[in-house]
Every structure is written in C-alpha cells, then in structure tokens.
Amino acid sequence: MASSGFGFIILLFHTLVVFQCFWCTSTRGINDHQRMQKMKEDLHHMNPNDPELQVFFTINDLKLGKKMPIYFPIKDPSTSPPLFSKEKADSIPFSSSQLHKLLDFFSFSDDSPQAKAMESTLRHCEFKPMKGESKFCATSLESLLDSTAAIFGPNVPFKVLTTNHLTKTTTSLLQNYTIEGIPVEISARRIVGCHPLPYPYAVFYCHSQESDNKLFKVSLVGENGGKVEAVAMCHMDTSQWNSDHVAFLVLKTQPGKSSVCHFFPADNLIWIPSPPM
C-alpha cells in the first residue's frame, strides 16, 4: 500500500512536471497546437533522468557545504490563476460530477488539456484521505485558513512557512546549490502542506499526516549566485512507500532503507503551529 507521503509526492510532481505554468500558457493566448505540443513535452519529462525529478535527497545530505543539483520551478505570479473570495468560489460547483457544466462555464472543450487538468484536480480533491491523513482542497483564502485551523484544533495559533528566493530570479534552472549555513530543524507537532493544483482559479491541495516527518530551513546559494531560503521536508519512515516510487530510483535505495527529503517550491504553503507545541 502506498503511504500518504507517496501520494503527496506524486501530486507534487503532477504539479511541478506536468502542469507547471499550464494555465499561464493558456492565458497568454498560445494556440491549441502549441499547447498540445507543450503538454506532450511535459509528459515526456516524466522519467527519472529528467532534471525536474532530481530533487530528492536524504537527511544526511543536509550539511553545511553540501552541494547538490536542485530544480526550483519559478512561476510568474502575474500569470497565476486568480484567488477567489469565498463567496465567489462557493457560488461555483467544485465536483467532478459537475465537470461538463464547469467546462461550459469556463469555455473549455471536453477533450482540451484544460479539461483533463480540471478533471484531475477535482479527482485529487475527492480522493478519500489515507489512514492517519487529513486532507482538503481550498478554493479561497478563507477556506484555506478555516480548514487549516480545523486540522490544528481549537485555539492553536499557526503560521506559514515558504521557500523564498532572496535574489531576483526569472528562470527555472536545474543547477548545483551549496548549503550555506547549518540547516535548522523546525520543530512542529503537526505540519499541513499545501500546494496549488491546476484550475481556472486558485485551488490549494492541503494535507497533513501523522507520521515521522522533519522540517528544515536551509540557506542555499546557486551556481548563478541566486540565494534561496528553502523549506525542506524529510520523510523519515518510508517503509510503507511503493517500491516503484521515483525517489527510490533517484536515490538508488529501497523503501524503509533511507529517509526521503525534498524541497518545497516557492508556491507551496507549509503551515505549522506557532509557537511550536
């Protein structure tokens, strides 16, 4: 059985690899042919030798001076889908059973890449959580905060962590980064991780699992001089993960034999109790 960590990383890669900047290309008005071409190229990238998949490492790599290749996708916020108010978001159905109506509403044909992306997003949001996992999809800032608060429980203040690019970067580039300071572990009793899914308006997929995860803040400097204050998560117990998981291919290891860590892209939100309890 795949663990929820597995599910999360697969989702992460759906977002990173297949759908990266997907709606923004559609809003830039490129034609269907170009869009299909891009989609094909993106799908072609789903192999373990692809740069975008080299983002896994182990907890032993989190050391001052360590150099490793990392790919941080950079998205242009001006082309991100709009964040709706709760009122507006709640006025539009958010269910795969309403997909046809939704496609009409947003003027996408049934067999368009956007239709496939919307269907995929709705289905991800409808999957039942795994054992020990809480999950939700948020379609507005209010619902994001309310649902996150519900996971932490009553009267638990919480705050958000994100990966920050400290230097202006406009292009995504796989490059070697060096860890510039001693990585700082951030203690958190519970972690809620949220990442955007492709949809005509902003949708965050969030989940939290009760398993052995560690969070770190890591200062990195790229070969191009770009500085990144990154948030990393290490999954310490991978024994329940599927042995086909791409992380094991990249790290040349097996379930349960090694921790699996990854950095969060800048558009992910990592919520933790504040102060940590």
Ligand X SMILES: *[C@@H]1O[C@H](CO)[C@@H](O)[C@H](O)[C@H]1NC(C)=O
Residue 96 binding ligand X, by CB under 6 A: no
Residue 95 binding ligand X, by CB under 6 A: no
Which is nearer to ligand X, 79 or 224 (by Cβ)? 224
We find the least distance from the C-beta atom of residue 75 to ligand X, in angstroms, to be 21
User: Residue with CB nearest ligand X?
Assistant: 176
Q: Which of these ranges, 16-24, 97-105, 148-156, 169-177, lies near ligand X under the rule CB under 6 A? A: 169-177
We find the least distance from the C-beta atom of residue 54 to ligand X, in angstroms, to be 8
Residue 175 binding ligand X, by CB under 6 A: yes
Which is nearer to ligand X, 23 or 72 (by Cβ)? 72
**Conformation bin of residue 43: beta by default, left when phi > 0, alpha when psi is -120 to 50:** alpha
Residue 174 binding ligand X, by CB under 6 A: yes
Which is nearer to ligand X, 69 or 256 (by Cβ)? 69
We find the least distance from the C-beta atom of residue 50 to ligand X, in angstroms, to be 12
Cis peptide before 275 (omega within 30 of 0): yes
Which is nearer to ligand X, 178 or 253 (by Cβ)? 178
- Name residues contacting ligand X, limited to 20-49 (CB under 6 A): none
Q: Which of these ranges, 22-30, 91-99, 108-116, 171-179, lies near ligand X under the rule CB under 6 A? A: 171-179
We find the least distance from the C-beta atom of residue 20 to ligand X, in angstroms, to be 18
- Name residues contacting ligand X, limited to 53-92 (CB under 6 A): 69
Residue 176 binding ligand X, by CB under 6 A: yes
What is the binding site for ligand X (CB under 6 A)? Answer: 69, 174-176
